[in-house]
Structure formats: structure tokens, C-alpha cells
Amino acid sequence: MTEQRTPVDSSTNHDKKVIVGMSGGVDSSVSALILMQQGYQVEGLFMKNWDEDDGTEYCTAKDDLADAQAVSDKLGIKLHTANFAAEYWDNVFEHFLAEYKAGRTPNPDILCNKEIKFKAFLEYAIELGADYIATGHYVRRGERNGEPVLLKGLDANKDQSYFLHAVGKDEIAKTLFPVGELEKPEVRRLAEEFGLITHNKKDSTGICFIGERRFKDFLEQYLPAQPGDIETLSGDKIGRHFGLMYHTIGQRQGLGIGGLSNYPDEPWYVVEKDLDRNVLLVTQGGQHESLFKTHLIADNFDWVARTKPSFPLTCKAKCRYRQADQDCTITELTDGRVEVSFIEPQRAITPGQSVVFYLDDLCLGGGIINVAFNK
Ligand SMILES: Nc1ncnc2c1ncn2[C@@H]1O[C@H](COP(=O)(O)OP(=O)(O)OP(=O)(O)O)[C@@H](O)[C@H]1O
């Protein structure tokens, strides 16, 4: 069902300038369109944050810029361009590499939102005279007790609050999220109705600004691979891995083992990375009990309200983007980290990924998973 958009009194918006992050995708194209319909003074900004342009199919920045320009021309808005590659490298990519080096599986898009889209871009837009920025994220801005809050997007399939949980309330207050009020099919329909060439463009995948690449080849350019053994939980060596960093807890593909005479012919799954011994621990069966944990400890919290909630807190959590909300209780440990205890055991909780907390539609914020265990 398509939600009705709240009618907007466009007469109050005409003296407000909004700069929309135009990626050359359909969501930001329609965001610009909606803001124009709402009477704002709209301009666009295309960011290029990854400088390597090796002419391969992975680098779509040129095509994306052309699409952002075509949509801006169609809407009759000015398109700025900016390059935050230095900020991206220093504040996102180096951290991403350090996390991989430490054997964790980071989520660079969360840091990219915090450091680039809602910091470098926001600051730049304000210098250009913007009252607000806007993005095509499927989230909503709300208000609780007079403070701006981050709410899930209305389209439950597209909600992107998981990726925005590290953005603070002051930045949320300066951002408009026009498509957060809509369902994706309606966004594509609007794009088609208004003749925007991005109406049927495929959704972007891969790491924001770096794109969809052969991940192993890409990472290999920056981090030396350290091959090691693959072992079963009972300590049998059954193969070799190219480097722990290429593997993720719960992962099935890419292990290169199979057809072992002592084991049934079933797929193998990564259960744990033993960093001290550089060993990948695996088991057979995607639902094996060793893949399920009831507790985790997390740190490095970013609360949208910029103050932590009072603990213990009973709420919902996601340990990965594509996951239904899970019931949990959060308690604070004496060292400042928090322990999350789930009602249902969770599959493949992955150190380095974010755990993000919710009260219904309200996104509270989240932290980085250190370790998962059963009690
Ligand atoms: N290169 C870019 N320049 C400016 N803004 C960008 C850029 N990339 C992403 N954004 C902003 O961040 C939002 C979310 O980016 P994401 O990569 O998740 O794309 P998306 O959900 O596929 O959206 P879109 O359809 O607009 O590409 C975009 O809608 C856009 O507002």
C-alpha cells in the first residue's frame, strides 16, 4: 500500500535553499523533484570520493555524473560537483582497512554517512548557502520532545536507518529525506511520470563510492594476504585459506573445500576466525548450532540523540542490514561497553559489523560488535 504524503504548504519553503546529494540514481532524482514540488529552491551536488578511475566496469562515476546532470537539466536545477576523496580516504577508507587487518568485517557505508554525506557534504552545502541538505535515503526525520529524531523509512523493504544510525540529531535536523515517506515503486513511478532518465536505473550495490568490485582483488591491493589453515571445530585441518580478511562469519561460498572422504558432502560455513593462529574455523550445515549466539558485546557507540539512553534498556536490534528487528535487552558494562542479550539466538553475529537499536520506528543509534557468545 502506498502511504499518503503529508500535504506540504509550499509557500513557506520558497525562501529555503536545499542542496540534494545527486548520485545519478532514481532515489535522489525523485528527492530533487519532490522538493521542487514542495516549493524549495533546489540545487544538486554530485560527489566523487574515490579518485581511481581505471576505466573498468567497476568505475561508474562518469556515467553517474552524466545521469545526475541529465536529471538536473530536466528539472532545471544547478548541479555542483565536489571531490571529497581525501576526506573519504582519511576518515573512512583507512579505518576500513584497519578493521580488516584486525580480522573484523567493517561496514564502510555507515562511516561514509557519518563522515562524508552528513559532515563534509553538509559543511560544503552550508558554505554554498544551503538551509538544508537532502538525500535519497529511505528514512524519515521526526521530532520527539522537541528534538529531531531518526525514524525508519515507510517502505519496510527499503528502510536505510541501519546505515544512518551514526548520524547525530544536529545533522538530521538539517536534512530532508523526501523518499523516506514513499514506497520504492512509487518513487520509480514518479520518476517515469516526470520523464527522469533514472526511472529504471538499477539500484546501486557494492561499497558506496568504491562500487562493486571483485572484493578479493581489491582488498589485496591494500593489505598483504596471509594464507593459513582451515580447521573443523574438532581441530581437523581440512584446507587452506588465502587470508582471514576475505572471509565472514556465516559465509558459505568461496571456501574451496569439499569432497573430503571423512565428511558428508555438505557445504561448509565459517564459524570463527582464530586471529592468533590465523586459522579459519568451519562447520557443516548453515544452521549448525555453533553459528548461533545469544549475546554480544559492542563498543564505539553513536547515539542519534548524542546522549546514551538509560540502561538496562529493552528494545529491538539489528545485527545486519537485512534482518528483522530482534528483541533484546542492553546493559552497560563497567568498562563502558554494552552487552546485548537476545531473546532468540542470532545467526552469524559478525565482529566489526554494527548493532543498531530501535524502539518501534525510532532509531536510537548503535555500536560496533566486538564479540558474540552464549551464556
Ligand atoms: N556520488 C554521490 N553524490 C551525491 N550524493 C550521493 C552520491 N552517492 C550517494 N549520494 C546520496 O546518498 C543517497 C543514498 O545513497 P545510496 O548509495 O544508498 O544510493 P541509493 O539508495 O541507490 O540512492 P540513489 O537511487 O539516489 O542512488 C543518495 O540517494 C544520494 O542522495
Q: Which atom of ligand 1 is nearest to the CA of 160?
A: 18
Helices (H) and strands (E) in the chain, counts: 10, 17
Nearest one of 368, 363, 330, 329 to 350, comparing CA atoms: 368
Predicted confidence (pLDDT) per residue in 247-260, tens digit: 999 998 766 776 77
Return the closest-CA partner of residue 22 out of 89, 74, 67, 75: 67
Q: Can you read off the three cell numbers belonging to residue 126?
A: 552550508
In this predicted structure, the answer to whether residue 145 has a pLDDT above a threshold of 70 is yes
**DSSP string over 93-119:** IHHHHHHHHTT----HHHHHIIIIIII
- Which of the residues 59, 112, 328, 363 is marked catalytic? 112
Pairing of strands 313-318, 268-274: unpaired
Residue 50, pLDDT > 90, answer no
Could you give the CA distance from residue 9 to residue 2 in angstroms, rounded to a whole number? 21
Report the C-alpha gap between 255 and 351 in whole angstroms.
19
**Is 239 part of any known ligand binding site?**
no
Q: Whose CA is nearest to atom 27 of ligand 1?
A: 25
Q: What global pTM score does this model have?
A: 0.93
Ligand 1: residues whose CB is within 6 Å?
A: 21-23, 25-28, 45-47, 117, 135-137, 203-204, 208
> What residues contact residue 359 under an 8 Å CB cut-off, 6+ apart?
315, 316
Which pLDDT belongs to residue 212? Answer: 66
Q: Does 117 have pLDDT greater than 80?
A: yes
Rounded Cα gap, residues 22 and 29, in angstroms: 7
pLDDT tens digits, residue range 220-257?
A: 888 888 999 999 999 999 999 989 998 999 998 766 77
* Kind and range of the H or E run holding 218: helix 215-220
Residue type, 356: V
Which residue in 208, 315, 319, 363 is the catalytic one?
Answer: 208
Based on the residue annotation, tell me whether 112 is a catalytic residue of this protein: yes
User: Could you tell me if 44 and 79 are in contact, meaning their C-beta atoms sit under 8 angstroms apart?
Assistant: yes
Nearest Cα residue to atom 8 of ligand 1 = 23
Are the C-beta atoms of residues 231 and 279 closer than 8 Å to each other?
yes
Whether the pLDDT of residue 48 is over 50: the answer is: yes
21 has binding-site annotation:
yes
Checking if the pLDDT of 1 tops 50, the result is no
Alpha carbon distances (Å) from 46 to 24, 51, 207: 8, 14, 17
In whole numbers, what is the pLDDT of the chain averaged over residues? 92
pLDDT at 317 over 60: yes
What is the distance in A from the centroid of ligand 1 to the CA of 118? 12
Interface predicted TM-score of the whole assembly (ipTM), two decimals: 0.97
Q: Which residue has the cell 568461496?
A: 254
The owner of cell 563502558 is 336
Q: Which atom of ligand 1 is nearest to the CA of 20?
A: 31
Known catalytic residue at 59: no
Of the pLDDT bands very low, low, confident and very high (cuts 50, 70, 90), residue 208 is: low
